[in-house]
Amino acid sequence: MKFIKTLIAIFTLVILFSCEPIAKENKIDVAQILEKAEKQTALLLKSSETAGRIPRTVTAEGNMHWTNKNFDWTEGFFPGTCWYLFEHTNDTIWKNAADKYQNKFEGHKNRTDNHDLGFVFNSSYGNGYRLTKNEAFKDVMLTASNSLITRFNPAVGCIQSWDVEYGWQSKRNWQFPVIIDNMMNLELLFEVSELTGDTTYKDIAISHANTTMKNHFREDYSSYHVVDYDLITGEVRAKQTAQGFADNSSWARGQAWAVYGYTVCYRYTKDVKYLELAEHIANYIINYKETPKDGIPYWDYNAQNIPNEPRDASAAAITVSALIELNEYSKQDYQNSIDKILSSLASKEYTAELGTNHNFILKHSVGSIPHNNEIDVPLNYADYYYVEALLRYKSFLSKN
């Protein structure tokens, strides 16, 4: 009997010790990671101050690439990261930097030729208003929302993503393209409805989310990148891709935008169909068999040469930020996936040494392989969603 008890004790110890490395591997020292992120961004701010420009990425030749002064869908993310660092540190250096760099594109609030106003103005002025209650910031959000909703077509039920009269997109024979990324522009509209009491913005956001829910998803809850609509009848004309590997493939960042976008829809509406869709998308991402053990996806889940394809840290950063919020609402438990992705992003493989990587925090993201643009580079939005995820994680730890 004693022998059997000893055997059971040894067996239990073996099980316990064999589990420990996994727990250790994924251990996240969020304060230390944030400290490192702040130091690196302080260096990035220094180079921005010298150039007077907003950093976006690094070129194939290894030079800093600043945002386009005329308009750049990524221009809100650098001031947005500064707002998050202000939130974390309460240091006015970050508040002043955020204010200064978002001011550079304030005039873009009047643009009606682009759907990215939600990305641009929510990450910058939206965070600024949340943290400071500066009424002038709220006015900017309202003007940007009014510009954005000019692109809503009631026959389709969506906000048009790209104009089709010029640029590379004019060669695609589209009438009214809507990309899954556009789900990310809805947060600005939901927020502006809450701030003003005017439900116009929220109603448009809900219509867009419902139409996208109907047409963008496959049976396995992966998403098409582009759905093109007939602008008169609202009928679906085509389901295709622009930044993914193929029309039928699952572009990794698209899946990330989808899970984030529907989590936000649930936050504002508490409509359970959005929660369920977000859970399905999350499960698709988490359970995808060919994603490596570290949880950082290849740039497209169906890319042709997996495992010899670039990973996309930006998709992982967006996803993990969404999962932390989703975890609050869902009965499912995403903790293991959150810990795995965050600890991978915080590892040497994805986090740059201080002063390297042109002072961006994360390495190994992908902009658009079909456009041969930004392949295996740092991206300002990878850093933004990573810092956001770290703050969300910190807040989660303080409550639990």
List interacting residues with ligand GLY (CB under 6 A). 73, 181, 243, 253
b/e 349-375 (16+ beta carbons within 10 angstroms → b) = ebbbeeeebbbbbbbbbbbebeeeebe
| Rounded Cα gap, residues 394 and 11, in angstroms | 36
Which residue carries 């008890």 as its tokens?
5
Q: Is 312 among the residues known to form the active site? A: no
CB of 181 to ligand GLY, least distance (A): 4
Q: Is 139 among the residues known to form the active site? A: no
CB of 254 to ligand GLY, least distance (A): 7
The count of residues in the chain is 400
CB of 75 to ligand GLY, least distance (A): 13
Please give the angle made by the CA atoms of 148, 102 and 252, to the nearest 5 degrees.
60
| Rounded Cα gap, residues 172 and 110, in angstroms | 27
| Rounded Cα gap, residues 161 and 218, in angstroms | 20
Provide φ and ψ at 304, rounded to 5°.
-65, -40
CB of 180 to ligand GLY, least distance (A): 9
CB of 27 to ligand GLY, least distance (A): 31
| Residue 26 or 314 with smaller CB distance to ligand GLY | 314
Six-digit token pair at 296? 């950082």
| Residue 26 or 212 with smaller CB distance to ligand GLY | 212
| Residue 73 or 174 with smaller CB distance to ligand GLY | 73
Tell which residue, 45, 46, 67, 42, has the closest CA to residue 56: 67
| Residue 95 or 253 with smaller CB distance to ligand GLY | 253
Cα 299 to the chain's mean position, in Å?
14
| Residue 73 or 125 with smaller CB distance to ligand GLY | 73
Six-digit token pair at 144? 């940007």
| Residue 137 or 386 with smaller CB distance to ligand GLY | 386
CB of 243 to ligand GLY, least distance (A): 6
CA atoms within 13 A on the CB side of 260: 27
Q: Given 181, 228, 300, 312, which residue is catalytic? A: 181
| Rounded Cα gap, residues 30 and 359, in angstroms | 20
Q: Given 72, 99, 116, 339, which residue is catalytic? A: 116
List residues with catalytic annotation: 116, 181
